[in-house]
Structure 1
Amino acid sequence: MIRSLYTRVVLIFLVSVIGGTLLSFFIATWAFREQLNENLRLPMLYFGEDVAQIYKSQPDDEADAFVSGMRQLSTYHVRIYESRDRFRAYGELNGASSVVITPEQIERVLAGEQVQNNPNGLTVTLVGLPFSTDTGRKALFVEPIGSPSAVFIVKWLLSFSAYALAAGCVVILVAAFFLVRPIQKLTTATRRIAEGDFDVKLDIRQKGELGTLARSFEQMIRELRQAETMRRDFVSNVSHEVQSPLTSISGYAVALKQVKLSEEQRVRYLDIIIEEAGRISKLSSGLLKLSALEAPSPHFRREPLQLDEQIRRVVIALQPQWTPRRIGFELDLPDIRLTGDRDQLDQVWTNLIGNAIKFSPDGGQIGIRMTADADRVTVRVEDQGIGIAPEDRERVFERFFKADRSRSRKYEGSGLGLAIVKQIVTLQGGEISVESRPGHGAVFVVSLPREPQN
């Protein structure tokens, strides 16, 4: 079995071209055989008629002398029969064998009939025509000297086809090399990617289908490289987020084994262990939630809901967080209904408003405003907190990303909340963005369709 694509391309081309050339040659020959025969017969017939006219208009001796000196005898061989056994020949055959004229053909021409030899259907090798002089009826036969022109044309066409095929083979060998080389590069790149090497450059500049394939492959490489980077970051972040509470749990569990501990110390250590275990539990729940949302077919239960009432209930549910810190709310929530997953959207508002409370200063103000048009609803959650640096705004929705690592212990969290929010909003057919400056708070803007999108 031929496995090389290069060999397959070359063989397919050769078979197609050779087969097509031969088929076209035979079809063209069959279609134009009548014209070839006519083109050969007419010059011989006209020459024979001229010779016959000479004999009709002049005495035989003068006619013989005139015909013997004709320049056309370098092209044609002439035989004139007075009977089956008596004839005169004009013109040299130059070593070529003469066409055999049968007695039957002589008798037919002497009887006043024209004859011709057409042995292979393509070439006329002999023309016989009658003429009469004062000495009686004669039979004049004309045959071409050398190869008939039709045979020459056929040989020339075959030679031309052979040279054309040879040149075509050379061209296709070179062209196929350049055609297959990008695919070979893609194959090598695929093998390297399979081995984990994503630093692959194709350097394929062709246009058309191969160029499109190369561009798509390069895009795939970039996405795979990004996915691999995200995977490594994910493993690193999970390890970091889990290691810290596990270290605390392990350390305080060892401390609890000490005999000389006061009840107050024992309770404090247990509280720390419970708190750190809760951090791990929240991290695990967040990861499971994000994994479920990123599944190919996440489960969503869409139903009509009163969005303004849902946001008000979330604010009331979070009252234990904002009341002790004297944080106020400025609500602008008109009566708006939309269709969506109630539980998922409830998590969106809980997370956004919870973050606003977490990062707002004591005595601060949080604004929640909602507007709508015929197709979409926009919700803005604004706080007066520490804000987000410009270089961090594009990354706040990444998993485990924390805008201010130096304050990560002060503002507890796993860094999964906004990633979950973004995934929910996206699956609802909406968009989320952030506007912020350091020291001037942050505004999270959520835009949702009023009806589910297909």
Structure 2
Amino acid sequence: EWNHCVGRLSGVAREAAVGSKLADLLSEASASVLQDALRASADGAVAGCPIQLRLRAAGGTDPIGLVVSMTAQLDGAGKAVGVVCFAQVLQAAQKPEAADGKHICVKTRGMVMHELRSPLHGIIGLATTLSQDESPMQRPLRLIVTTAERVLELVTNLMDYWNLADDPNQEALCDPIDFPTLVNECMTRCEQAKDKRGKPMKKDSVNIVREVPSKLPMIYGDPQGLGQLLYHLVMNALKFTQQGQVRISVAASSTNGIDVVVEDTGIGISKGSIKRVFEPFQQEDPSESRRYEGIGLGLAIVSEVVRLHGGTVNVNSQPDKGTTFIVSL
């Protein structure tokens, strides 16, 4: 994968990067380091130590720093058949003005998040490969995959929120977005999501209704961020809805934009809690014995993505009746 952030920083579009050799995109010295690290990772079954590489940038600007972790991908017989790599851009570390305490904290936090995510990718890859063989361990291995994916999502949410909230003056990408396709991709992801017990987030008693016309005004923005927005709104609705429906509708607005509505027939939100639903780490029931999982970051990410795109988000809710979120872009 080659996301929009690294594409913007390097000047290499995703279409040009995917399928090419990573070594061809690195500085000469880094390409040699990469080859040595790949060989070492392929010889072992555990994740190797992270390495630092330099990615060439377009226009002759300074190379971009990457921290890369690797782990061998094994088949059912324990033979290495490939290497899984995970890389994170260390853009902030290259800025001379980033020497103050806040930026050092941001850099350190990014390194910590990377160190948490890298072994999780290795666990998921290895357990997925092993679970493909019929054996008494297949079910426990699949549970390992589900649990690791859940932890990975929590870590990713933390990193996403901090990246959005740390710099309130950052500008959103301005890429054209095919919103119907974005909705379809989001719904597929949500329908496949599982809870901490490995059960589908969507209950059998809940119907998902989509009302998305094929033609909508063109929206320009960050596809990844808006994908996060949709995902968190729909997952929030599925989490708190035991029966009835979750409806997502998209329509052209009077301001040449679009309105996105996510409506559910779930438990609703009390009047006293509505005003803080978009605050980070907030849940209506904060007790350790609470029924619903999560750390209270989904709607905070929604709020930050909407702010970054200059839009608005509003919520209407009645306890025991349901909740409606309305996003205008």
**TM-score, structure 2 normalization:** 0.49
User: What is the TM-score of this pair, normalised by structure 1?
Assistant: 0.36
Structure richer in strand, relative to its length = 2
Is the helix fraction higher in 1 or 2? 1
